[in-house]
Amino acid sequence: MHNIHYATNRRLNSQNSAGFSISLSRDMLRDRIPFKTSAGCRMSQSNTAKLSSPPPPQARDLDALLEIMVRLRKPVGGCPWDIEQTFETIAPYTIEESYEVADAIARKDMAALKDELGDLLFQVVYHARMAEEDGHFAFQDVVEAVCDKVIRRHPHVFADTSVEDAASQTKAWEDIKAAERAAQGAQDTPSSALDGLPKGLPAMKMAEKLQKRAARVGFDWTEAKDVLGKIQEELHEVSAEFQGQDTDEARLTDELGDLLFACVNLARKANIDPGTALRGTNLKFERRFRRVEELLSAQGKTPASSNLEEMEDLWVRAKNEARE
């Protein structure tokens, strides 16, 4: 395992194809930064006693977080749980933190969003540290790469090109990304409009991206209302699977997939993010069901001790209360 240290006062230089450059500097902390243990680390009282009091809030910056990560992963004196983690074991936490950020935004909870963004940032630092230890790249390289990418994809800001509106910028953005994918692709492999899509995307997001890529080369519905007919068609096919005495699970799964894909298409054509729409409905369902539980509790009942008719009446009541 390699141990690559950051250079003091290192400057980051990012250059895009148009020749625009930026310069970012960072001064490493001169002293070791005291820290609280991570959630996964269980330290003994003797180990805890070795740590000094946390510095005041104004001293906690990105350099502090990077140094904290170094200490957590230090073979001697670090956290046993953090030391044994790998890219594969941390990846699920990274995904989870992304969803928690989205959840805080959906709930419009700014305090939670601040906390969740910190957790997500910690994930980036975690992966970068492991990569640095293995000699692949460091956090600085991550910063350089994203700066270069953002500058390259915004020539209307950092170079001499111009765009008329947000729609034109979106098209230009996709064109630049397509050119990047083409440059990275194998020379002997036929290119596809679908190249470069991450295979690990959630199914709904993957469906949306597949549709957007196909739409860019002309394979798309003319208007959102045109998709409604497709949804009716797919719904009819799902319904048909329930008409016989025995439902074929494989066929039903296939037809339900087609129906969901068509619903994602409708949302896309209507310029509505399907994940955001479903997340909002999930929160709405949760609020109403919790209200049903409250109303039942006031009667000395629980959902398990009530019948569907009682709960349906209370559901309508909760729904009407939300509208008032």
**Domain annotation covers residue 52:** yes
Q: Which residue has the higher pLDDT, 285 or 243?
A: 285
* Structural domains in the chain (count): 2
pLDDT, tens digit (0-9, with 9 covering 90-100), for 13-25:
333 333 333 333 3
pLDDT on residue 158 = 86
Distance CA 138, CA 275 (A): 33
Residue 58's pLDDT band, with cuts at 50, 70 and 90, is low
Mean pLDDT of 221-247: 91
Q: Which residue has the higher pLDDT, 24 or 323?
A: 323
pLDDT on residue 55 = 53
Domain boundary among 96, 117, 152: 152
**Domain annotation covers residue 204:** no
Mean pLDDT of 52-75: 82
State the sign of the Cα–Cα–Cα–Cα dihedral 243, 244, 248, 254.
negative
**Domain annotation covers residue 96:** yes
Kindly state the DSSP code that residue 60 receives in the 8-state scheme: -
| pLDDT above 70 for 226 | yes
Domain boundary among 152, 177, 194: 152
Q: Where are the alpha helices (DSSP H) in the chain?
A: 45-49, 62-73, 80-83, 87-106, 110-133, 139-152, 155-158, 166-184, 203-216, 224-241, 249-269, 274-298, 308-323
Domain boundary among 120, 152, 184: 152
49: domain range?
Answer: 11-152
pLDDT on residue 53 = 55
pLDDT on residue 57 = 59
Q: Which of 59-63, 167-171, 254-258, 300-304 has the lowest mean pLDDT?
A: 167-171
| pLDDT above 90 for 87 | yes
Q: Which residue has the higher pLDDT, 238 or 193?
A: 238
Kindly state the DSSP code that residue 32 receives in the 8-state scheme: P
**Domain annotation covers residue 94:** yes
**Domain annotation covers residue 39:** yes
**Domain annotation covers residue 50:** yes
**Domain annotation covers residue 188:** no
Q: What is the chain's Cα-based Rg?
A: 26
**Mean of the per-residue pLDDT values of the chain:** 82
